[in-house]
Homo-oligomer: A and B are copies of this chain.
Amino acid sequence: MKSRNKKECVAMLLAGGQGTRLGVLTHDVAKPAVPFGGKYRIIDFPLSNCINSGIDTIGVLTQYQPFELNQYIGNGQPWDLDRLSGGAYVLPPYVKGKEGEWYKGTANAIYQNINFIDRFNPEYVVVLSGDHIYKMDYDKMLAAHKAKGADCTIAVIGVTIEEASRFGIMNTDPDDRIFEFEEKPKQPKSTNASMGIYVFTWSVLRQYLIDDEADPKSQNDFGKNVIPKMLADGKKLYAYRFQGYWKDVGTISSLWEANMDLLNASSGLNLNDPSWKIYARNSAEPPHFAAGSAEIQNSIVSEGAMVLGSVKRSVVSHSAYIGLGAIIEDSVILPDAVIKAGAVVRHAIVAEGAVIGEGAKIGETQKAPVKGEWQIAVVGPGVKIAPSVVVAPAEMVKEDK
């Protein structure tokens, strides 16, 4: 008689720390809960990729107050993760022994949850990051892992040789076996950048995690410790080449760029794909309304929004309000934000529930955009900007102003 809880593959999603590089956007929420693309949150991408790849058991490792993610994920229904066994579990570091400790590094985060993984007795564990926007079939990567008889398979994406020194680079033999891993090399030998997506044979990883934890000198990090150790031991590590859109949205400018990529068919980021839907918790709002005074071009607008003003090259999220005569350009307006009449918002991110007063001016209101020199202003969640106040380009507003 077989075990009734067994899963072939469990995914562990490293939802990261407080995401300090995203500033006010992650002041109250974990990075994966940051809104994206009008109706999504970042975590919708790995969760949707998992279920679309046939993986229905996911541990979400978060350092942060788990309540927001707990509530957003809920019973997992929006992602079809409300399964009889399995589903999505939020796993903050919990108290054990005397007190418990923060996740010291990526490897330690998985180490602290060995018992969770063992309950499903999986053969493979997929380790994912919580701050990337991409669509990927992990099942194909798993198939490659099995076909090679690998201990670890690492997804890589081709970057330019100039970019390569900003990434972890995998140097491989012609069969894609990794013989060397270099973290941000000055003289990169190849352009295979690690995407932070790993498939491990669980029995192998499990032992490495235990050994790594026992090593007082280790930083308990996959890239810095576990992968180099496995390479040194002659384990079979393979690169899995990914083609397609992939972007780390760990900074304000990359988050803004990824939103802009949605407006541009040639960016490669196409979410309107029935064969690979990205799911999100639905806000139960009526369709959006474009008033008689609205002007909207080259933009995306989501449900429940109300547009009376002008919107160009921008993302207007669900339940946002753009008042009469307001001008929104090259900006991302997050859910429930209110832009009052006559306000001007350019090159900015206006966070959830922020209120921009009448006639206020947010961000670059003069110059035309020059690629690579964008400076994105950010108005934090719930922040109220008084009428006619000016927020400078690249300014990050934490408090009412």
What residues make up the interface of A, taking CB atoms closer than 8 Å to B? 4-5, 63, 65-68, 70-71, 74-77, 81-87, 89, 92-96, 99-102, 115-116, 119, 284
In contact, B94 and A92 (Cβ under 8 angstroms): yes
**Chain B nearest CB: distance from A91 CB in Å?**
8
16 contacts between A and B (CB under 8 A): A4-B284, A63-B95, A66-B94, A67-B119, A70-B89, A74-B83, A74-B84, A75-B76, A75-B87, A77-B82, A82-B82, A92-B95, A94-B100, A95-B100, A99-B101, A99-B102
- Kindly state the separation between the CA atoms of A87 and B74 in the bound complex, as whole angstroms: 7
A306 to chain B, nearest CB (A): 12
The chain B residue sitting closest to A115, CB to CB, is: B67
What residues of B have a CB within 8 angstroms of the CB of A74 in the complex? 83-87
Task: Give the Cβ gap from A328 to chain B, nearest Cβ, in Å.
Answer: 22
In the complex, what's the smallest C-beta–C-beta distance from A344 to chain B, in angstroms?
27
| Alpha-carbon distance A87/B85, docked complex (angstroms) | 16
User: Which residues on the B side are within 8 Å of A63 (C-beta)?
Assistant: 95
Contacts A93-B94, A94-B94, A99-B102 known; 9 new A-B pairs at CB < 8 A: A4-B284, A63-B95, A65-B115, A66-B94, A70-B89, A74-B87, A75-B87, A93-B95, A99-B99
CB distance from A24 to the nearest CB of B (A): 19
Closest to A120 in B: B71
**A119–B68 touching, CB < 8 Å:** yes
Cβ A65 vs Cβ B95 within 8 A: no
Q: Tell me, rounded to whole Å, the shortest Cβ–Cβ distance linking A305 to chain B.
A: 14
Total copies of this chain within the assembly: 2
Which B residue's beta carbon lies closest to that of A68? Answer: B119
Q: How far is the CA of A68 from the CA of B115 in the complex (A)?
A: 9
B119 to A71, Cβ gap below 8 A? Answer: yes
Q: Which of A65, A66, A95 is packed against the most chain B CB atoms within 10 Å?
A: A95
Task: Return the chain B residue nearest A282 by Cβ.
Answer: B84
Main secondary structure of the interface of A (DSSP, over half): loop
Residue in chain B with minimal CB distance to A83: B75
A68 and B5 alpha carbons, distance in the complex (Å): 12
Q: How many Å from the CB of A30 to the closest CB on chain B?
A: 13
- The 8 Å CB contact of A84, one of B77, B92, B115, is B77
CA–CA, A77 and B75, complex, Å: 9
* Residues of chain B lying within 8 A (CB to CB) of residue A95: 63, 92-95, 100-102
CB distance from A131 to the nearest CB of B (A): 21
B residues in contact with A284, CB < 8 Å: 4
User: Which chain B positions have C-beta within 8 A of A119?
Assistant: 67-68, 71
Chain B residue, CB-CB nearest to A102: B95
From residue A157, how far is it (CB to closest CB) to chain B in Å?
A: 33
CB contact between A93 and one of B65, B67, B82, B100 (< 8 Å): that residue: B100
- Complex CA gap A116/B69 in Å reads 11
| CA distance in complex: A216, B95 (Å) | 21
Bound form: Cα–Cα A211–B4 in Å: 47
Measured in the bound complex, the distance between the Cα atoms of B74 and A81 in whole Å is: 11
Residues of B within 8 A of A67 (CB): 115-116, 119
B99 A65 Cβ-Cβ under 8 A? no
- Whether B89 and A82, one on each chain, are in contact in the complex, defined by CB atoms closer than 8 angstroms, is no
Contacts of A84 in B (CB 8 A): 74-75, 77
Bound CA–CA A86/B82 (angstroms): 13
A101 to B99, CA, bound (A): 5
Query: Shortest CB–CB separation between residue A307 and chain B, in angstroms?
Result: 18
